[in-house]
Amino acid sequence: MALQDKYAELVQAAHAHGVANFSVAEQNGVLHVSGTAANTATYDALWALYAKIDPDMASGDLMMNIDIKADAGGQLKVTTDASNLNIRNTPSTEGEVVGKAAHGETVTLVEKTDDSWWKVRTADGEEGYAFAQYLSPM
């Protein structure tokens, strides 16, 4: 089965959700998919589809680089299930917790460090790194 056929549902979903700058390219037996999702829900939906098509993401035939639109200075909503979001001194779970942001709280984006960790500032002025999966642009 061709990779574009295998991941057709994912590609169609990205188009349906309006992923900006969306691109698909096949190289050396790997399908490269990239773009910018407008929100965390779209990002999560695409990763869930990937997991459905390739459980445990074990085949190694897809490289998905979907970013979430967020601009420095923009407001982000904490989207944890119910708990506080840890704010750390380094972009890692090994980093010391220097603050917390409550579920539903609004924080300010300082910089997108990488796809997983964003530097944020809380309303109390605490600044540090938070796991981007739990932040949604407003």
> Are 48 and 95 contained in the same domain?
no
Determine contact, residues 95/127, Cβ cutoff 8 Å: no
- For every one of its 138 residues, what pLDDT tens digit does the chain have, with 9 covering 90 and above? 689 899 999 999 999 999 999 999 999 999 999 998 877 778 888 989 999 999 888 889 999 988 877 777 889 999 998 889 999 999 999 999 999 999 999 999 998 877 789 999 998 899 999 999 899 887
What is the spatial order of strands in the sheet that 20-27 belongs to? 20-27, 30-37, 62-68
> Are 28 and 10 contained in the same domain?
yes
Supply the CATH number for residue 18's domain.
3.30.70.1770
> Are 20 and 62 contained in the same domain?
yes
> Are 63 and 99 contained in the same domain?
no
pTM of the model: 0.58
Structural domain for 61, as ranges: 3-68
> Are 81 and 124 contained in the same domain?
yes
